[in-house]
Amino acid sequence: DFIVFDRAVYDHLSYVIWLFLRNKLSFQELRELFKLVENANPCYDKIFYLEPLPLVGDGFRSESKTYQMEIDEILRHFLNVNRIETIHIQNCDLDKRLKIVLQHLRDWLI
C-alpha cells in the first residue's frame, strides 16, 4: 500500500517561511512548524518536485506570478539545503506530468 499526497509538509512550510520573512509570523511559530516537518520527513518515500504551472484565477488563490515564484524559490532552497531528494518533473502538460509520476511509482514498486 502507498499513499500519495499532492501537497507535502514542505509545500506548507514554504508558505509559512514566506509569512515569517514578512514579519507576519513569530519565530516561535516558525520553530513549531519546523518540528512538525522534522517529524513528518521520515514518512515520505518519494518526493516529486513539479515546476509551477501558469496561474489560473479561481477567486481564492493569489494570481501574483511574483508570489508564486517566491514560494517556489523558498521551497527549492529548503529542499536543497536540507538535502531532501526529489524527483524533478519539468513543466509540461498535466497528462504528461501524470504519466511521468506514474512511471516512477511503477518502477519503484517493481
**What residue spans define the domains of the chain?**
9-54+62-109
What is the pTM for the complete model shown?
A: 0.84
Which tens digit of pLDDT belongs to each residue from 24-41?
A: 999 999 999 888 888 877
Q: Are 73 and 15 in contact (CB under 8 A)?
A: no
Condensed to tens digits (0 to 9), the pLDDT of residues 43-82 reads 788 889 999 988 888 988 889 999 999 999 999 999 999 8
CB distance 52 to 68 below 8 Å: yes
What angle do the packed helices 9-21 and 27-40 form, to 10 degrees?
A: 170
Span 3-11, average pLDDT: 80
Amino acid at 36: L
Residue 39's pLDDT is 82
79/85 Cα distance (integer angstroms): 7
